[in-house]
A = this chain, B = another copy of it.
Amino acid sequence: MIYIRAMMQPIKEILVLLFLAIFSKATGLKYAYSRGSGVPSDGASYCLSWRLGVEANNVRAWRTVPTQCLRYVENYMIGGQYDRDVELIVEQILSYVSDIVVSSGGLDAWILDVDDTCISNVFYYRGKRFGCDPYDPAGFKSWALKGGCPAIPAVLGLYRQLVDRGFRVILLTGRDEETFGQVTRDNLHNQGFTGYERLIMRSAGDHGKNAVSFKSEIRKQLMEEGYRIWGNVGDQWSDLLGDCIGNRTFKLPNPMYFVP
């Protein structure tokens, strides 16, 4: 029996080590829900509340992502949940769109924001700790001037369907025309955004206006031209508030930055 016990000793140790390894792994899963409650562990729970607050426009005028939410926002943006959130919203949009009878007059319009609506800046924000670093205008300028923002796949799909169904899609962005006009047109074209009615950017006279004022003025002009704005999609509440917001607005998620 002593011989057997001696044989068992290393196996016992293996079992103990195995348990420890599994236990530490289980408790190390930062975003694991606690058993049965469906509530993520404290850090993720706070960040989930914060993100919900941002998306429902309860949390406003924030300058940076809370530092403790860096990993959470990183996981959210590149781990799949962001894509699923966008896809679900696009499904809602398409369901709404399917009930609209587009007239032949060419005045049934749809408004899309550009940055993080049509094309993504997530690769840029990866280098800015997903929004934990403060806004860096020079850094963003040099990124945007490369013209390499990839399409957001679900929104590109929506865009193609809108164009195919006869909507006049108007891209409305706070980007400055003089600085970013050509590169933005090229970037959009390269990513498959072709056939839009207009790309409207900030001109010299629009500097200093906040996004709500600038975009409201443009939408008002469009309605005065006779356009019916059936839908309006953006990743910022400032795309969707103000005047002439459209028959329906859709807020795409963006927990990386806030545009007032």
A33 touches B37 (CB 8 A): no
Cα(A14)–Cα(B19), bound, Å? 13
Query: Could you write out 6 A-B pairs with CB less than 8 Å apart?
Result: A14-B15, A29-B32, A46-B84, A49-B88, A53-B85, A58-B88
Partner of A79, one of B30, B39, B59: B39
The answer to whether residues A84 and B49 also contact, given A31-B33, A33-B29 and a CB cut-off of 8 A, is yes
The answer to whether residues A52 and B52 also contact, given A22-B22, A46-B88 and a CB cut-off of 8 A, is yes
Interface members, chain A 65-117 (any B CB < 8 Å)? 71-72, 74-76, 79-81, 84-85, 87-89, 92
A38 touches B84 (CB 8 A): no
A58 touches B251 (CB 8 A): yes
Residues of chain B with a CB closer than 8 A to A89's CB:
53, 58
| CB-CB nearest in chain B for A51 | B52
A45 touches B81 (CB 8 A): yes
Cα(A89)–Cα(B50), bound, Å? 9
Give the size category of A's interface with B.
Answer: 35 or more
Q: Does A55 touch B at the CB level, under 8 Å? A: yes
B7 touches A40 (CB 8 A): no
| CB-CB nearest in chain B for A54 | B56
Top 7 A-B residue pairs of the complex, sorted by shortest distance between their CB atoms: A38-B75, A37-B79, A39-B80, A49-B88, A31-B33, A38-B79, A56-B251
Residues of chain B with a CB closer than 8 A to A249's CB:
57
Q: Does A124 touch B at the CB level, under 8 Å? A: no
A38 touches B92 (CB 8 A): no
Q: Does A138 touch B at the CB level, under 8 Å? A: no
A76 touches B38 (CB 8 A): yes
Q: Does A4 touch B at the CB level, under 8 Å? A: yes
Q: Does A48 touch B at the CB level, under 8 Å? A: yes
Residues of chain B with a CB closer than 8 A to A38's CB:
30-31, 44, 71-72, 74-76, 79, 81
Residues of chain B with a CB closer than 8 A to A33's CB:
29, 31-33, 40, 75
Cα(A80)–Cα(B49), bound, Å? 11
Q: Does A20 touch B at the CB level, under 8 Å? A: no
Q: Does A227 touch B at the CB level, under 8 Å? A: no
Q: Does A131 touch B at the CB level, under 8 Å? A: no
Q: 0/1 per residue, A124-139, Cβ < 8 Å to B?
A: 0000000000000000
Partner of A53, one of B11, B31, B75, B92: B92
Residues of chain B with a CB closer than 8 A to A46's CB:
84, 88
